[in-house]
Structure 1
């Protein structure tokens, strides 16, 4: 298991509350009585994101096929809980999957456009064929409470809305580091998790919204359109002993 370090950050906090609405449209999915599958149809445009929410149990197998009318549209499978690391990433893994589900809870089929297509205001109609089958595992299998079970450091980051004033919330985080980068799981004030990626001196996130970052001395100001703002110091990215 990775060495666990409690990272204490003593910094002023950004003011304002983070918007609870992240712009994602949630659509509950319920199979017809006696059925284990459904066909979902819809359309996304620009930076819109649609989540189809399906309840399932650990040990069951979910299969899904995504058929969009645009090459700029993708879908992910997001597990339940506060860690939205996708079990299937359409951009990397293609338009179909068969996944044995690891947890009990609500899974999300997330439909979105690539950043380029979203920035151009493009749209895509799509169909999803989804099936959940098989017997669940015995007992309860809840998802992890927050972020990964193993991490290199954890602490709190200043976070909030984009504001010139100070004196707002802080956000707990966990970080896993690798040479040249790091992945952050940040617990937002509304209880959801934002994943922020740092690689090759650039930031991105699990959100479809645009990400910008500026550096002042040894601290990055990372802004995700919406707005969300996080202050991330170098020590959180590279640790006390840089690679």
Structure 2
């Protein structure tokens, strides 16, 4: 009887712990432009619900352009300083895989790269390149 109870207890622990084992990974990548450059192109990949956050400093009044290439599952959102995915509205997102906007404030901006829930749920791999320009 004890063996049966221990086996059931072990199964219950594993079953309820599974969601925490499959936690989303968020990778943060600081963006740095080469000397004299006003843009950078970076390559990356992720799977499922994982996301990549590109961070870069910019000043109010500058224009940011973000474009993504590669997997059609690669999507992005742009967040103003102090704003974050899941807690704030995005300043911009990928309509036609590109966004350009005038920046409202100075500080560190975040460009979140992710995939939609349907493909994330299937655990699809997303390979992409992203270009971020500040003018």
TM-score tier after normalising by the smaller chain length: 0.7 to 0.9
Aligned length: 110
1:85 deviation in Å?
1.5
1:22 deviation in Å?
7.3
Name the structure where helix makes up a greater proportion of residues. Answer: 2
Q: Distance in 2 between matches of 1:53 and 1:59?
A: 18
TM-score, length-scaled by structure 2:
0.75
- Tell which has more relative contact order, 1 or 2 (C-alpha 8 A, sep 6+): 2
Q: Distance in 1 between matches of 2:102 and 2:24?
A: 28
> Which has the larger displacement, 53-62 or 77-86?
77-86
1:89 deviation in Å?
2.3
Mapped pair 1:128 → 2:125: no
**Displaced runs of 4 or more, over 6 A:** none
Alignment-derived partner of residue 76 in structure 2 = 75
Does structure 1 retain, via aligned residues, the 8 Å contact 2:24–2:50?
Answer: no
Q: Distance in 1 between matches of 2:24 and 2:119?
A: 19
Unaligned runs of 5+ in 1: 1-20, 134-243
- Please point out which of 55, 58, 61 is paired with 2:60: 58
1:52 deviation in Å?
0.5
1:88 deviation in Å?
1.3
1:72 deviation in Å?
2.3
Q: Distance in 1 between matches of 2:108 and 2:97?
A: 21
Alignment-derived partner of residue 144 in structure 1 = none
Does structure 2 retain, via aligned residues, the 8 Å contact 1:64–1:96?
Answer: yes
Q: Distance in 1 between matches of 2:36 and 2:130?
A: 20
Q: Distance in 1 between matches of 2:116 and 2:40?
A: 25
Q: Distance in 1 between matches of 2:131 and 2:28?
A: 18
Does structure 2 retain, via aligned residues, the 8 Å contact 1:47–1:112?
Answer: yes
